[in-house]
Chain A
Amino acid sequence: MSTVADTERRTPSFVDSVSLIAGREITMRLRSKAFVISTAVLMLAVLASVVLGSIFGTQTETTKVAVLAGATAVVDESDALEAVPADDGAAAEQLLRDGEVDAIVAPAASEPLGIIVTGLDSTPDSVVRALSVRPTVELLEPAAVDSTLAYLVAFGFGIVFFMSALTFGTTIAQSVVEEKQTRVVEILLSTVTARALLTGKVIGNSVLAFGQILAIAGLAILGLVLTGQRVLLGGLGTSVIWFIVFFAIGFVMLAALFAATAAMVSRAEDIGSVTTPVTMLVMLPYFLVIFFNDNPTVLAIMSYVPFSAPVGMPMRVFLGTAEWWEPFVSLAILLATTALAVLVGERIYRNSLLKTGARVPLGEALRG
């Protein structure tokens, strides 16, 4: 037998194999034009939304009104109204009819407020609101978070989870089927274990998914800071950290499931139908959090169900409705489920890889 210097060759460890496989996944993905372009587009979209948000956010809406002498003082008191002085009633009416102003404010001694507001065809609500006198309001149990902001944050968590999990889940599925379709998998399996192959794929794609999310987060934070929207950042900190932790583990679970289901088919065309159940699991939390972000019961359930916890729990942390220990319990449940998903996934993956042709039935894939 030929002998080779040990310095040139050694039996690779599991970690060696996994890092080689993960490295190949990353290199090949970064070389793909489709991936680079779609990432660039996504980044631009995030940057654009932050910048546009800042532009529209700083503009305070003012309404123009024609003011007759004697009412000027009242109008000037309101920040929301811009006074357009009119010489007399006829001139003011002309301005209103031309659409130059939304209403006429004229002095009227007989009125309780001392003015009268004239509109064109409907009550000019914004003007009325601006001129109204409001009583001071006190809330016994003020909501911690503004509901619009809550919706935006829910949408943010939901869409980032949904997009990343779907994009990289599909990437894993394609990569698994590519190896099966091109038959290269048999050479690979004669060299490395199915577990190393699966782990390498999951880690490689997780690194990419994570890199993309961190880049998006970094860009968004940078944008917010540069455009002076620091206020929005303050409340998000803890929940974003939880989101990242939950996402890291939840993504591994989904990746294992995507890889396992994809291994059951032999052609790229069949990926869509076979991964549909997993895709549903990814889409569900997205829709739930958007429709039910103001429903504490649904959010509480979501925050413990492993598939929706990566969105549900950070959302509750943000809203301040979760006790300090709740994310840890949910995380433990997620970890256990992920371990189970990886074990079952590996079994399906290993049993299906060499079965080409028709789709492998789930029962057979589990039994082996």
Chain B
Amino acid sequence: MLELSNVSKRYGNRLALDQVTFTVGDGRLTGFVGGNGAGKTTTMRIILGVLSSDSGTVTLGGDPITEGDRRRMGYMPEERGLYPKMKVLEQTVYLARLHGWTPAAARRNAVELLERLGLGERMDDTIESLSLGNQQRAQIAAALVHRPEVLVLDEPFSGLDPMAVETVQGVLADAAAAGAPVLFSSHQLDIVERLCDDLVIIAGGRIAAAGAGDALRAEHGSERWELLTTGDAGWLRLQPGIEVIEFDGGWAVFEAESDAARQAVLAEAVARGEVVSFTREHTTLAQVFKEVVR
């Protein structure tokens, strides 16, 4: 389990991270969401030891993270980049060896991974000769070639084509299934929603919410109801204790002050004509995010 407690970081006069505290459980895919400049990259850099924090601790399995632990972490920085003049395989093997793998094992890992990522044909080409999409795949290989036991990925899906997104999703799920704590940030909330077990939401350097996705949705999603009738649903606006969020002909999304008010809507709808559906709306991550950050 990867755990951050009270991590703060100051850049000059600006407090970039303010008492950041959250955990990434073993085998849990954890999404890290927040606006631009909220502190995601700074947090990840501190986890990896690339940056030092001003205060607070980062622990892995209860013990402070050591250099040795960090060798077993896979990191994909937000700012992508590899040696442009090195060949794809050569570079991947080099990074695996920096993590302590023997030359033969490093090579075997690299070949396997590159083939899985669809770069099997391009292994002897230099990075600079690859297309942007393939460079991104090589970048993923660079983060995973040493078979990391903890993954910290900053925007792993940005700039990827749908095929590569699929591959990376698979790789992340495999890692989590094998018991690794996986933390990744993304602006693509739909992917986060689909993949993640847990969520950490950061805003202005502070953790706004953290926990299991379902729990967060239950806690922060306002209860919304969707009504679809065959007639016009304009009368809904006049119902007491009801706030209409969206409205279009016979369709409306509303929030109810109380169960009684909601029941009254249903009764009224039935009385007025044919009800096609009356459902509780699933709260999306985007809604939770807006709610929490507000």
Contact = CB atoms under 8 A, between A and B. Distances in A.
Nearest to A184: B81
A203 B71 CA distance: 23
A9 interface: yes
A77 interface: no
Nearest to A21: B98
A178 B82 CA distance: 10
B257 to A, nearest CB: 50
A28 interface: yes
B67 A193 contact: yes
B26 A1 contact: yes
Which of B48, B70, B94, B98 is most buried by chain A, counting CB atoms within 10 A of its CB?
B98
A7 interface: yes
A187 B180 contact: no
B87 to A, nearest CB: 10
Nearest to B82: A184
Given A4-B147, A187-B75, A190-B50, A20 B179 contact: no
Contact of B75 (A1, A28, A190, A193): A190
Contacts of A191: 70-71, 95, 98-99
A185 B77 CA distance: 10
Nearest to B84: A182
Given A11-B68, A191-B71, A28 B86 contact: yes
A59 interface: no
Contacts of B97: 20
Contacts of A95: none
B51 interface: yes
A182 B81 CA distance: 5
Interface in B176-224: 178-180
A79 to B, nearest CB: 61
A191 B70 CA distance: 7
Interface stretch (B100-108, B163-171, B234-242, B269-277): B100-108
B280 interface: no
Contacts of B82: 182, 184, 187
Contacts of A178: 83
Contact of A189 (B50, B84, B178): B50
B82 to A, nearest CB: 5
A186 B94 CA distance: 15
B85 A28 contact: yes
A5 to B, nearest CB: 9
Interface in A17-34: 17, 20-21, 24, 28
A32 to B, nearest CB: 8
Place the interface of chain A in its size category: 20 to 34
Given A1-B179, A11-B68, A191-B71, A186 B100 contact: no
Nearest to B80: A183
Nearest to B48: A190
Contacts of B45: 186, 354
A24 B94 contact: yes
Nearest to B96: A9
Given A183-B80, A191-B95, A191-B99, A9 B178 contact: no
Which of A10, A24, A187 is most buried by chain B, counting CB atoms within 10 A of its CB?
A187
A197 to B, nearest CB: 10
A45 B220 CA distance: 77
B100 A9 contact: yes
Contacts of B179: 1-2
Contacts of A125: none
Given A9-B101, A354-B50, A190 B81 contact: no
B155 interface: no
Nearest to A182: B81
Interface string B98-127: 111110010000000000000000000000
Given A182-B83, A356-B79, A9 B26 contact: no
15 contacts: A1-B26, A1-B179, A2-B147, A9-B99, A11-B67, A16-B100, A20-B98, A28-B85, A28-B86, A179-B83, A182-B83, A183-B79, A186-B75, A186-B77, A191-B98
Interface of A: 1-2, 4, 7-12, 16-17, 20-21, 24, 28, 178-179, 182-193, 354, 356
Given A178-B83, A186-B79, 17 more contacts: A1-B180, A2-B149, A2-B178, A7-B102, A8-B105, A9-B146, A10-B100, A12-B98, A12-B100, A185-B81, A187-B75, A187-B81, A188-B98, A191-B95, A192-B98, A354-B45, A356-B79
- 6 cross-chain pairs, A with B, having the tightest CB-CB distances, nearest first: A183-B81, A8-B105, A186-B77, A183-B79, A182-B81, A12-B100
